[in-house]
Amino acid sequence: MTRDLAFEGPPDHRPLRVLVLNPGSSTLKAAVVEPPGRRALATATVEWGPDASRASGRATGVADVLSAVEAAGVARGSIDAVGHRVVHGGTRFVYPTLLEDATVNDIEALAPLAPLHTRISVDTIRAARRALPGIPHVAAFDTAFHADLPPAGYRYPVPEAWYRDWGIRRFGFHGLSVAWSVTRAAELLGRPVAGLRLVVAHLGSGCSVTAVDGGRSVDTSMGMTPLEGLMMGTRAGSIDPGILLALLGDGRASPAELEDVLDHRSGLLGVSGHSADVRELLIAEGAGDSAATLALKLFVRRAAAAIAAAATCLPAIDAVVFTGGIGENAGRVRARIAASLAVLGIPSIPDGDVDEDMVLTDAAKAPAVARIKAREDIVIAEAVRSALLYARAGRRTSRAET
C-alpha cells in the first residue's frame, strides 16, 4: 500500500492514463482512458462465452488485452494506474479502493455472494497486478451505487433478525453502468441529473432494472446476489422459492446441484435448450424454433415486468433507458419490451438496431425511451482518479500535521 499511496501522478504533467479492466459474465473488456476525458485511447475485448466462470481461456485474458492495447499504440509503460470493476463490495466496500494483498483477499471472501463474478474479478486483479506491478490498482464496485437504497428498497420481508444478525439484505448490481446511464441520459435529454426520474434497464448476460430518482438508486431488481430478478443468459432470476424447498426436501436436488442449474443452466439457455445468445435465438425464432421463441417471450415479459415494478417507486417517469449488450444492440427485443409497456404510457420505438446513443422517441415528451452504450470504463477511470487524489491528499495532510 505504501507504494500506491506514494503515487504522484503521471510525468510531464500529462493526464492520468488508466487501464480499465471490466470482467463480466461473458467477456473481459479493457479500455485505456485519461479522465476526465471520455475518449478511449484503446479498447480490447476477450470473449469468454455465455458463462465466463466456466471458460477455459480466462487465464490469459489480461495478457491478451494488454497485447491488444499495445497493438493499438498504447505502450504498457505509459499506463499510470489500473481500474478494476468488482461486482460485489458488500457493506464494507462502498468507495473506490486501493488494492493490496489483504484487500484482494477481503474481496475474495465475498465470493459466495456473487460466485459467477467475484472469483473472475479476483483472478483478473491478481493477474493484472503481476503483469503491471509498481503502479496503483483500484477497485470500483457495482454495489456502491446502491449503497444509499432506502430501507424499503434493501430490506426483505423476512424476520428482522435475518437482517440484523445475518446481514440478509438487497445490495443491487450494475451500479457502474447505471451511473453512466444517468449521466448520459441527462445530457441526451438536456436535463440536470437532480431533476430526472429514470428507469434504467441493463440487459446483457446479466440483467437488472434500477429506479433512479435525482441520481439516487431507490429500487433495483437484483438482490443480495446477482441471481435475483430478471431472466438472464444462463441465470434463472427470481422463481418461486417453494420450488427449491420442494426439490431439496424430497432429495431430487442437492444445494450444489441447484446452484449449478440456477446459475449456469437456466435463463435463455435453459428455456431455449441450446443458446444464451439473443442473436442466435432471434435467428432460430425466425426459422420456426418454438423453444427459442418461448425463451425470447419469457425474457421480454420478465424485463417489462421489472421495468413496470421499478416505475412504481418513482413519482413519475422521465425516461426508460436501455443499456447493456442486449439493451444496446438487440433492437427487436428492445421494441418488444417497450410495446409491452404501452399500458404505462411508454411510446413505441423502432425495432431497428442503432449504434450510437440516442433518444428513440420525442425527447420533449415524457416518458422518453433512450438507448445508451454502457461505458463503465469512464466511471471506473474517474473513480481511479478520485481515489488517487484522495490518497495523495491524505498523505500530504499527514505530512503537514507532523
| CB contact at 8 A, 368 and 359 | yes
| CB contact at 8 A, 141 and 387 | no
The 10 Å CB-count burial string (b at 16+, else e) for 308-333 is bebbebbeebbbbbbbbbbbbbbbbb
Q: State how far the Cα of 376 lies from the Cα of 396, in Å rounded to an integer.
A: 30
The vertex-56 CA angle with 53 and 59, nearest 5°, equals 85
C-alpha cell at 95: 468507495
Coil, strand or helix: which one is 106? helix
* 18 φψ region: left (φ > 0), alpha (ψ -120 to 50), beta (else): beta
C-alpha cell at 280: 442466435
Q: State how far the Cα of 283 lies from the Cα of 278, in Å rounded to an integer.
A: 9
| CB contact at 8 A, 276 and 233 | yes
Burial (0-12, 13-18, 19+ Cβ within 10 Å), 59:
exposed
Please name the residue that has the C-alpha cell 479498447: 43
Question: DSSP assignment of 132-197, as one string?
Answer: STTS-EEEEEGGGGGTT--HHHH--SS-HHHHHHH--------HHHHHHHHHHHHHHHT--GGG-E
C-alpha cell at 338: 417497450
Q: Catalytic residue numbers? A: 142
C-alpha cell at 387: 481515489
